[in-house]
């Protein structure tokens, strides 16, 4: 078999849950919860023992984040002011896990688009923020469901998981250890979001993406050559989730808000924008790419303002929607899947020879860049 050792993206796949929640629906539910809480605790509030909860607002959400709606796996319980969390029946071990199920759907689409027989796939990396369980690895379950003979493992670098997965897959190709690797990012973020927290209840949405990274020798005629990848992590507590099995050691705080997603959004904004913009420009320079010639940026989808600033610093001018497409408005923040959704939905119109950048960033802090050029 021929190897070139040149990694390419052969195809991507996207699974989008049918249900979607608009800001109006979300805020109506949140505010009903706030009213109920404040009236149930009226005495304690009047006595000054507890603070009344403040209502959320559609205008704030859209202005601060750019998010207008988000897809979810279970709309009704999330919007029920008495529940405000996803709910579905627990599945027996013999049945495919829900996280694996949506990952498999995204993988099947990527395989189909590439015309790839599963017999030729060597590995599955499940790269995501929100794993359903510690083991057996989600990747191994997805590998089994797809009928792939090879290996799989999970990796979690929060919102940067997909780009870290792409570099890992690309390194397997470069080293000749694999010729075809699926990087799958199933994100059921609705499970880790605190839907009762006014500061963050609007942020996340559910989705699954898949990226088929292959040796150029077997890639379909049309593909994206991976020109270079770069990863970076810098420890920060500004985005954190303390959920884990050691929480059993502290039963008194098992339900504390820090066992779900919490962040210092302002600090994240301020610290991550310069870190990512500098990283992109330095890496472009090393690859001999003038960042201002990048045809399109498929950026992590966390906040429209952050993307505007990063794109401006990289391109040297205010980016148009065409140069830096957003999916945040309809998908919300989908953690590691965001930049891949943007790439999946907005790459077909580019011409052979066009160069672009897939870039993600988030908790850790972590950031990953993947420079790609269209071929065919
Ligand atoms: N509805 C109405 N008002 C709200 C609100 C809501 N849902 N949530 C917060 N507010 C209020 C605050 O109470 C605050 O009021 P104050 O000025 O009287 O104190 C005001 O709005 C501003 O809040 P702040 O949290 O500072 O907003 P922001 O402009 O920083 O926007 C984020 C918040 C989270 C959208 C923004 O900081 C962000 O996206 N940061 C980057 C986050 C990120 O990328 N995270 C990665 C996750 S993986």
> How many angstroms is it from 237 CA to the middle of ligand 1?
17
Ligand 1 centroid distance, CA of 199 (Å): 6
Q: Which atom of ligand 1 is nearest to the CA of 129?
A: 48
CB 364 within 8 A of CB 279: no
Is the CATH number of domain 225-375 3.40.50.1100? no
Does the annotation count 126 as an active-site position?
no
**Is the bond preceding residue 289 a cis peptide, omega within 30 degrees?**
no
pLDDT surpasses 80 at 2: no
Distance 192 CA to ligand 1 centre (A): 18
Average pLDDT over residues 219-236: 97
Residue nearest to atom 48 of ligand 1 (CA): 362
Inter-CA distances, 56 with 5, 30, 34, 53, 281, Å: 52, 7, 9, 10, 38
pLDDT of residue 1: 61
Cα separation, 244 vs 353, whole angstroms: 46
Test site for ligand 1: of 265, 272, 364, most ligand atoms within 8 A of the Cβ = 265
Who's near 63: CB < 8 A, 6+ residues apart?
none
Atom of ligand 1 nearest to the CA of 56: 1
Mean predicted confidence (pLDDT) in 311-337 = 97
Task: List, for residues 27-68, the tens digit of each pLDDT value.
Answer: 999 999 999 999 999 999 999 999 999 999 999 999 999 999
Q: Would you kindly state where each structural domain of the chain is located, as residue ranges?
A: 225-375
In short, whether 239's Cβ falls inside 6 Å of ligand 1 is yes
Kindly give the distance from the C-alpha atom of residue 86 to the centroid of ligand 1, in angstroms, as a whole number: 23
Query: 336 and 325 in contact (C-beta within 8 Å)?
Result: no
8: nearest Cα among 218, 185, 184:
218
Give yes or no for residue 173 CB within 6 A of ligand 1: no
pLDDT digits (tens, 9 = 90+) for 147-161: 999 999 999 999 999
* Residue 65 CB–ligand 1 contact under 6 Å: yes
At residue 196, the pLDDT reads 97
Q: Is the pLDDT of residue 362 over 90?
A: yes
- In this model, does residue 199 exceed pLDDT 70? yes
Cα dihedral 267, 270, 273, 274, rounded to 10, equals: -120
Per cent of the chain over pLDDT 90 is: 98
Q: How far is the CA of 234 from the centre of ligand 1 (A)?
A: 23
In this prediction, residues 198-203 reach a mean pLDDT of 97
Q: pLDDT tens across 91-143, in order?
A: 999 999 999 999 999 999 999 999 999 999 999 999 999 999 999 999 999 99
Which residues are paired to 228 by β-bridges? 371
C-beta of 3 in contact with ligand 1 (< 6 A)? no
Q: Is 151 in the pocket of ligand 1 (CB under 6 A)?
A: no
Nearest CA to ligand 1 atom 29: 64
Share of the chain above pLDDT 70, in %: 100
């Amino acid at each position: 078999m021929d190897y070139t050792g040149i990694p390419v993206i052969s195809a991507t796949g996207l699974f989008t849950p049918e249900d979607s929640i608009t800001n109006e629906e979300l805020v109506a539910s949140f505010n009903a919860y706030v009213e109920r809480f404040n009236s149930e605790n009226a005495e304690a509030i009047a006595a000054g023992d507890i603070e009344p909860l403040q209502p959320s607002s559609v205008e704030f959400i859209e202005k601060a984040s750019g998010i207008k709606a988000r897809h979810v796996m279970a709309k009704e319980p999330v919007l029920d002011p008495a529940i405000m969390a996803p709910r579905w029946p627990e599945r027996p071990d013999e049945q495919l896990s829900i996280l694996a199920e949506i990952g498999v759907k995204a993988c099947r689409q990527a395989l189909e688009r590439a015309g790839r027989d599963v017999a030729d796939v060597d590995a599955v990396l499940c790269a995501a923020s929100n794993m359903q369980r510690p083991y057996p690895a989600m990747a191994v379950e997805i590998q089994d469901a797809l009928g792939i003979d090879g290996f799989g493992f999970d990796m979690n670098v929060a919102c940067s998981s997909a780009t870290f997965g792409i570099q890992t897959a690309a390194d397997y190709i470069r080293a000749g250890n694999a010729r075809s690797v699926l990087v799958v990012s199933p994100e059921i973020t609705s499970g880790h979001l605190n839907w009762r927290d006014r500061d963050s209840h609007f942020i996340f949405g559910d989705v699954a993406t898949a990226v088929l990274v292959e040796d150029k020798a077997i890639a379909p005629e049309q593909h994206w050559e991976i020109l270079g990848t770069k990863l970076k992590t810098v420890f920060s507590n500004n985005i954190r989730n303390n959920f884990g099995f050691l929480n059993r050691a502290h039963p008194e705080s098992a339900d504390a808000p820090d066992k779900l997603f919490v962040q210092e959004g302002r600090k994240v904004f301020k610290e991550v924008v310069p870190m990512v913009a500098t990283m992109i420009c330095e890496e472009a320079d090393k690859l001999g790419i003038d960042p201002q010639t990048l045809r399109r940026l498929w950026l992590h989808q966390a906040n429209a303002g952050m993307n505007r600033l990063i794109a401006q610093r990289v391109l040297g001018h205010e980016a148009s929607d065409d140069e830096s497409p957003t999916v945040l408005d309809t998908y919300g923040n989908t953690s590691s899947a965001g930049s891949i959704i943007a790439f999946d939905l907005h790459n077909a119109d580019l011409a052979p020879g066009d160069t672009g950048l897939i870039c993600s960033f988030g908790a850790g802090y972590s950031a990953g860049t993947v420079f790609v050029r269209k071929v065919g």
